[in-house]
């Protein structure tokens, strides 16, 4: 089947097998290797990307389902050489160890903050529950998400302006439902 999809701001038209998963299309066809293949069962969240502005586990979406859609991967977050505020907060708060889950965690955290711009610790934990980290106790991840929320708050400076135009919009329910 022929699909046309915009990935990180670039439009692609490709022939794909009807059964090809979005995660494999992104990695194998487009070289977006920041989108990690974790469990292939949608349990870990390592492959989380944004599909039309909402987080999805790309191992549970067929590439043909993304036809006509906008996909954002971890590689598409930085603007003008500056990390996205959530990426920066993960760095500043040491919210990673091996880094395997980090792209999916960041993508899910951005979606969480779009829905709840000022989450408390419990809301962060609940919002990230579909994404697993096997290295940490999540304390630094939660701290990073809360730090990003503060930095992205209206009037917080240039980082808030960067995100307001591209990530925080009125939200519809997630494509995958539940925690991710």
| Annotated domain spans of the chain | 2-74, 85-166
Q: pLDDT digits over 99-146, tens only?
A: 899 999 999 999 999 999 999 999 999 999 999 998 877 999 999 999
Residue with tokens 């965690």: 105
The backbone region for 45, taken as left when phi is positive above 0, alpha when psi lies in -120 to 50, beta otherwise, is left
DSSP label at residue 130: T
CATH architecture of 2-74: Roll (3.10)
What pLDDT is stored for residue 137 in this prediction?
73
Report how far residue 155's alpha carbon sits from residue 7's, in angstroms, rounded to the nearest whole number: 30
Helix (H, G, I), strand (E, B) or coil at 132: coil
The reported pLDDT for the residue numbered 168 is 33
The whole-number pLDDT of residue 158 equals 58
CATH superfamily of 85-166: [2Fe-2S]-binding domain (1.10.150.120)
């Amino acid at each position: 089947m022929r699909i046309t999809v915009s990935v990180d701001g670039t439009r692609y038209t490709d022939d794909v097998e009807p059964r090809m998963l979005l995660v494999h299309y992104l990695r194998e066809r487009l070289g977006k290797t920041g989108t990690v293949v974790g469990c292939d069962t949608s349990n870990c969240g390592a492959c989380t990307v944004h599909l039309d502005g909402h987080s999805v586990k790309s191992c549970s979406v067929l590439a043909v389902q993304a036809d006509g859609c906008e996909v954002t991967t971890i590689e598409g977050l930085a603007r003008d050489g500056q990390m996205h505020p959530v990426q920066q907060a993960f760095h500043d708060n040491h919210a990673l160890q091996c880094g395997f889950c980090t792209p999916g965690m960041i993508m899910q955290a951005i979606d969480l903050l779009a829905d709840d711009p000022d989450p408390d610790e419990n809301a962060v934990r609940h919002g990230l529950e579909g994404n697993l980290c096997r290295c940490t106790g999540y304390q630094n991840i939660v701290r990073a998400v809360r730090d990003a929320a503060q930095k992205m708050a209206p009037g917080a400076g240039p980082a808030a302006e960067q995100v307001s135009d591209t990530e925080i919009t009125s939200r519809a329910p997630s494509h995958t439902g539940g925690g991710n």
